[in-house]
Amino acid sequence: MSVEYAELHCLSNFSFQRGASSAQELFQRAKQQGYQALAITDECTLAGIVRAWQAARSVELPLIIGSEIRIEDGPKLVLLVENLEGYQALCRLITRARRRTHKGQYQVLRDDFNEPLAGLLALWVPDAVDAFEQGLWLKQVFAERLWLAVQLHRGQDDTRRLNALLTLARELRIPAVASGDVHMHARGRRALQDTMTAIRHHLPVAAAGLRLHPNGERHLRSLDALGDLYPPALLDETLNIARRCTFDLGQLRYQYPRELVPEGHSATSWLRHLTEEGIQWRWSKGPKAEVLTQIDKELALIAGLGYESYFLTVHDIVRFARTQKSSVRAGVRRPTRRCVMPWESPKSIRIAPHCCSNASSRRNATSRRTSTWISSTSGAKKSCSTCSSAMAASAPH
């Protein structure tokens, strides 16, 4: 009987110092091996997913988008994107986890799963003594979107491990599925993978010991090899999950921030509203008929192309810039007795009418301060020595 399989847990080299192969290498190898789909599930990141998407398209093999995460003091999960809603949920989860701690690290909490993560499928990788309690909690969170991942790598206890995991799945009444925990596209990449593991732990390879994988089985194995390891039902379940993951990056369209459009308006209606305000400002007595015709034509073209939000963004930037410029100008108090006049070019710098004419002017020169200090070497030469000293003393430090 022929074997069909989709790999649902695979790290690329975007899992820093863990994955030892590029997305292109992984997809080419998966295609050669006859896989039906390949999931790229780098650890708490989607940084390499565009390259994975391009690699998938180049060999015409479906990409399943996902991510491996470890919940703090909790289970290890592989989250797979089922649809657009799931992709958005995964992006939010990764963003929260990365922002919660230092750069290069992440922190996923159980509280992150209080809100429903619709559109995400979860593969649970049991590795704790309290696996049953973890399974009960995960079943409450994901319900029918939860599977128990069975990962076998030709260890001496594969048979015992398989039986124990199948028993756990039956007790929790959740389906089990085969999973490879792939770290490299081919066995020959193991030396690099071991080296990166040692670097990650700040050790020489010879001292890495049990931190290294015991063999080179975490690669994209042949279908015959997988058929020898896993029961057919577990292999078939990978195809069921792959068929549910229909999301493709090509479905994404840029969505502008909603805050650009007030409540009660669409982007189209708000752009027209602002345009009408601009018409009143530009033509106080009203524009000519041909002008209105041209404006209506352009607004219709913008709406047809879906570019309203672009023009709203430009408007928002210009409005902000003008507001900032007005604020800066309002904050400058131009003194009546000052040698250097703020906001003037060096060529226009002049000596004030009453420069150093009496003691009062000199006292004012040292006591007053302008909101913004602008000076230049060429300008200073045009001031008398007394006022130059006074201005230097009053300059903000």
Q: What is the pLDDT along the chain (397 residues), one digit of tens a residue?
A: 689 999 999 999 999 999 999 999 999 999 999 999 999 999 999 999 999 999 999 999 999 999 999 999 899 999 999 999 999 999 999 999 999 999 999 999 999 999 889 999 999 999 877 899 999 999 999 999 999 999 999 999 999 999 999 999 999 999 999 999 999 999 999 999 999 999 999 999 999 999 999 999 999 999 999 999 999 999 999 999 999 999 999 998 777 777 788 888 999 999 999 999 999 999 988 899 999 999 999 999 999 988 898 899 899 899 889 888 666 666 554 444 444 334 343 444 333 444 444 444 444 444 443 333 333 333 443 444 444 444 344 444 4
Task: Work out the number of other CB atoms within 10 angstroms of the CB of residue 132.
Answer: 12
Crossing angle, helix 359-367 and helix 385-394, to 10 degrees? 30
In terms of pTM, does the model score above 0.75? no
Of residues 158, 148, 130, the one with CA closest to residue 214: 158
Q: Which residues in the chain are classed under CATH 3.20.20.140? A: 6-251
DSSP state of 79: E
Residue 357's SS3 state is coil
Supply the pLDDT for residue 329.
63
Between CA 122 and CA 139 the distance in angstroms is 10
- As a whole number of angstroms, the longest Cα–Cα distance in the chain is 107
Question: What's the token pair of residue 19?
Answer: 């994955």
* Residue 247: predicted pLDDT: 97
- Collapsing DSSP to helix, strand or coil, 22 comes out as coil
Q: Report the Cα 241 to chain-centroid distance in Å.
A: 25
The architecture in CATH of the region 6-251 reads Alpha-Beta Barrel (3.20)
